[in-house]
Chain A
Amino acid sequence: MKKLDGDVQLNKELHRICNLDLPESELLRGKLNTAYRQIYEKAEIERKAGERKKMKTNRFSIIKPAAIAAGLMIIVLGGVGVANPALAAEIPIIGKIFAYLEEKVSYPGNYSENAFTVGIQDQENVSETYEGAENNSETGNDVRENGFVQSKNGITVAVTEFSRDNGKLYMALRITNEEGFPEDFMEKRPEGQLSHLQCNSSAVVHWDGKEDASYSEGEGNIPLYDIEGEFQDEHTFVGIAMAEFDDLAGSTGIDFTFHSFYGFLTSTHEVMGHVAGEAETFMIPEHDMKIYEGSWSFNFALDAESADQTEEIIVDQKNGEGFGISKVVRSAYEITAEPVFPEGVNKADYIVSILDIDGKPLESHGGTVEQYATYGRNTDTVTICLMKFETWLEYKGENADKQTENAVFSVRVDLK
């Protein structure tokens, strides 16, 4: 009787066998595809509902806002007032953050060309606005108010430029940290990927003759929770923030407050966790966070009568089955199309895709998937394709030239 040559050989054989690829049955493939379909649908629904809801998980501690600093009427010109000139002198892109980052963020736009200075005073008058600004250093909070620069607890936030578009406020930010940001914040990122700095924020939008609209964690609609940018060095983060609102058309101003900034560290502590629906628990590590409490408040005075470059084109077309497009809305940075559905149809099963003048599909503008970026693309004429979601998945990427012929409805629209 032949014997196996010892435990080593047996272990090798067991290792080989336990790593064999098993044949995949049609049944398993079918079940997996069904699961993947549900996952894609859910991912799209979550995007459409607004990604700000993603913030409401146990990972993020509830941060109570510190007392909001007295509101300042600040006018942003595109110039820079700096609380710490020494730090500013070392930064090569003063006043040019939009130009430096606008192509790199996941919500690209030619913000530098459209940096609104709506309803503002000119440069000469800026210093007069801030005469006699209070210095609360006696209180120990070191609040230095200098127009569009706010400092608190060693963190200085400067808004160097801003722009707005169709319900969004874009802010070019430079955030400096006297003690230096943790090394973990500045982990090496793959080529082309920006860093992120998280924040807790709130805002109030003002109108003439209409009630103010509030945005905050408590109201379930944080306007901004993530800033994309770069750590220039351990003391300095520059980024473009995109704050989202329901509507800014006709608004006279926005009071915007950063309550805190934070990021995750690689160090962890243990917490008890469980899988949903299971009674069993197990200890899982949770990442520590570094939080910088504020707050830093800014007021953006907007000219309610100025045009915000938004065009709305009525299309009002549909096919015999009732699928169609009612209108296309194009602003300075993004374009959307409103679909029409027959009664009884599940709208979540469909998606609107927009192709540029060359028939190439536009990319998402960072918010919901059907808000498309116009940056670097010719959208004077677009093709709007209303598609079944599963079909759209098949005709993304290199098969995108077949979107029109596989849409349930498509229409070419001139926007010039």
Chain B
Amino acid sequence: MEDTLVKKAQKGDPDSFVRLMELNKNSMQRIAYGFFHEEEDVADVIQDTVLLAFEHIREVRKTEYFKSWLMRILINNCRRLYNSQKRVQPQELTGKEEGKRDFYPSDNDFFRMLSVLPSDSRVIFQLFYGEQFTTKEISRLLQMNESTIRSKLHRGKDQLRSSWEMEV
């Protein structure tokens, strides 16, 4: 179905485009929360991404590239906003400050997971486990070495394993 919606959206059908965005809204939220914990920031980058995607959807040559293309736009928008807020880029952080937790808008397993992970690993986890991208695709999306991606996944899993074992 998403293939059909992409093709129709490329022909200028706004209904199909809106449906496409609604289908991908959860994915975009989860990725954006990998960068921010404020609802307003997440809503802003998703809005920007939707508008930019509509403007450029005809550049998607094959429908199977659509999700990757959309995530790329979102990640770029997240980075732009993150940098404009004058924080260090996530991939440059080596870890969280000891004892500090990020506060997310609600308390569920997803946000609890994000709270445990270092900020430079959150987006990687979402892209790998949530969106099912390969480490190679993630390295292209985030412009990081594939070995760095694998190492962050490994380290993040260790931290989560330890945290969950402690909670039991």
Instruction: Name A's B-contacting residues (CB within 8 A).
Output: 1-4, 7, 10-11, 14-25, 27-28, 30-32, 34-36, 38-40, 42-43, 46-47, 51, 54, 57, 59, 268, 273, 275-278, 280, 282, 284-287
Contact = CB atoms under 8 A, between A and B. Distances in A.
B109 A17 contact: yes
Nearest to B49: A35
A28 B39 contact: yes
Given A34-B47, A278-B76, A282-B72, A14 B25 contact: no
B78 interface: no
B76 A280 contact: yes
Given A18-B126, A39-B18, A10 B161 contact: yes
B108 A18 contact: no
Contacts of A1: 165-166, 168
Nearest to B12: A43
Given A17-B109, A18-B30, A268-B61, 20 more contacts: A4-B161, A7-B157, A14-B157, A17-B110, A18-B110, A20-B109, A22-B30, A22-B110, A30-B43, A32-B25, A32-B46, A34-B47, A36-B21, A39-B51, A47-B12, A276-B52, A277-B52, A280-B76, A282-B140, A285-B61
B47 A15 contact: no
B113 interface: yes
A27 B42 CA distance: 10
Contact of A43 (B14, B72, B109): B14
Give the one of B43, B69, B165 with max A CB within 10 A: B43
A24 to B, nearest CB: 7
A6 to B, nearest CB: 10
A25 B113 contact: no
A273 B59 contact: yes
Contacts of B35: none
B125 A18 contact: yes
A285 B65 contact: yes
Contacts of B109: 16-17, 20
A291 B160 CA distance: 56
A46 B10 CA distance: 13
Interface in B1-35: 12-14, 17-18, 21, 25-26, 29-30, 33
Contact of A275 (B58, B73, B110, B129): B73
A39 B54 contact: yes
B100 interface: no
A32 B29 contact: no
Q: Size range of the interface on B?
A: 35 or more
Nearest to B54: A39
A27 B165 contact: no
B27 to A, nearest CB: 9
Nearest to B29: A22
B29 A27 contact: no
Contacts of B129: 11, 14-15, 17-19
Nearest to B141: A282
Contacts of B39: 25, 27-28
Nearest to A22: B29
B72 A59 contact: no
B11 to A, nearest CB: 9
A32 B48 CA distance: 9
Contacts of A285: 61-62, 65
Q: What 9 pairs between A and B have smallest CB-CB spacing?
A: A18-B130, A18-B129, A31-B47, A43-B14, A28-B43, A31-B43, A2-B168, A14-B129, A35-B50
A375 B125 CA distance: 55
A22 B69 CA distance: 22
Nearest to A287: B61
B110 A32 contact: no
A192 B51 CA distance: 32
Give the one of A3, A34, A275, A276 with max B CB within 10 A: A275
B94 interface: no
B164 to A, nearest CB: 6
A34 B40 CA distance: 14
A101 to B, nearest CB: 20
Contacts of B161: 4, 10
A20 B108 contact: yes
A39 B17 contact: yes
A22 B128 CA distance: 18
A180 B109 CA distance: 58
Nearest to B131: A18
A24 B25 contact: yes
